[in-house]
Chain A
Amino acid sequence: MESDSQLVARAQGGDQQAFAELVRRHSAHVFRLALSVLGREFVPEAEDVAQEVFLKVHHALASFRGEAEFSSWVYRIAFNQAVNLKARVRFRSPHANDTALDRVAAPEPDPHRKAETAQRDRAIAECIGTLPEVYQSALRLYYWLGAGVVEVAELLGVPENTAKSYLHRARLLLHGMLKERGYSCE
C-alpha cells in the first residue's frame, strides 16, 4: 500500500486517483473531527465541512511541503474550518437537539425520571458548550464518537498526554459547573 506522502506526490503531479485515495483514507476522520467541534445538532454542517476541507486541501496541495504529516495538516485545516463554521451557525436553530435524538441507552420507563434525565442532559450539553473548543472536541470524540485517547491526540494534533489532560481538566470543569447548577453527578 502506498504511503500518504507517495500519494501526495502523485496528487501534486495532477493524479486525481491518488487524491481520491487520500480522500478515502482520511474522510471518516475529518468528518468525526468536524462532528466533535460542531456537536450532534449540526451533522449536515459537519458533512459540508468535510467536503470543504478536501476542496481546500486540493487547492492548497501544491503548497504542502511535507514538513508535517499529511494527516496532521488535513486535521488542522478541518478543525479550523469547523470552528469557523461553528461561529457562524451558533445562532441558527439546530437540526435536532440532544434530547430529541434517540439515545442508545435503555429508555427510562418513569416519565418523571425521564424528564429529569433529559433536563440534566441538556444542562450537560450547555456546560460542554461553554468549555474551550479543544476540550469540547476531546469530550465529544471520547464519549460520543468512541475515540480512544490515541485517536483524540492524533485528530487534535497534540501529544497523548496533552489529550489526556484535556479530558481530565474538561471533566473537572464540568463537575464544578454541574454542581453549581444543582445537579448531582451520581
Chain B
Amino acid sequence: MNEMDLRQTEIDELLRRSMNAPVPGLPPDFERRVMREVRRRAEPLDRRGRLFLAAYAVISAVISAMVMREQGLEWGTIAAAILAPLVLVVVARAVRRAACRPAPQSST
C-alpha cells in the first residue's frame, strides 16, 4: 500500500467514526404542507386586492396622462404610451401560455 492509499484509508476510517450521527428525516406532513403553500400562493387576489390594484392602475394612468398632456403631447401619443406596455404584457402572457400548453397526444 503506498503513502496516498494509506492516508486515504486512515482518513476514511476516521470520517466514518467522526461523522456517524443520527440522520434526520422530513416530517410526515411535509408534502401536505408544501401543497397547502402551493395552493395559497396560486390563489388569485381577493375582491379587496383586485379593487385596490384597479384603483392604483386607474389613478396612475390618469396622473401620467395629465403630466404628459402638460408637456404638450398629443392624446394619441399619450394613449399609445399608456396602452403599449399593457398590450405587451397581454401578448407575453398569451405567448407563454401557448408555449406551456402540453402537446396534444396522438390518438394512435
Contact = CB atoms under 8 A, between A and B. Distances in A.
B18 A121 contact: yes
A168 B39 CA distance: 44
B24 A51 contact: no
A9 B102 contact: yes
Interface of B: 4, 7-8, 10-12, 14-27, 30-31, 33-35, 37-39, 41-42, 96, 99-102
A23 B34 contact: yes
Given A27-B34, A58-B41, 8 more contacts: A10-B102, A19-B35, A19-B38, A27-B30, A55-B41, A124-B18, A143-B20, A172-B4
Contact of B12 (A47, A58, A62, A171): A171
A40 B17 CA distance: 15
Interface residues of A, number: 47
Interface string A5-34: 000011011001001100110011001000
- Judged by DSSP, the binding face of B is helix
Contact of A143 (B7, B15, B26, B99): B15
B20 A62 contact: no
A153 interface: no
A172 B22 contact: no
A171 B8 contact: yes
Contacts of A103: 20-21
Contacts of A140: 19
A143 B16 contact: yes
A1 B38 CA distance: 24
A28 B25 contact: yes
Contact of A58 (B4, B21, B26, B38): B38
25 contacts: A12-B102, A13-B102, A16-B38, A20-B35, A24-B31, A28-B25, A31-B26, A43-B24, A46-B24, A47-B30, A51-B34, A55-B34, A58-B38, A62-B100, A103-B20, A105-B17, A124-B14, A124-B18, A139-B15, A139-B19, A143-B19, A146-B23, A174-B15, A175-B10, A175-B11
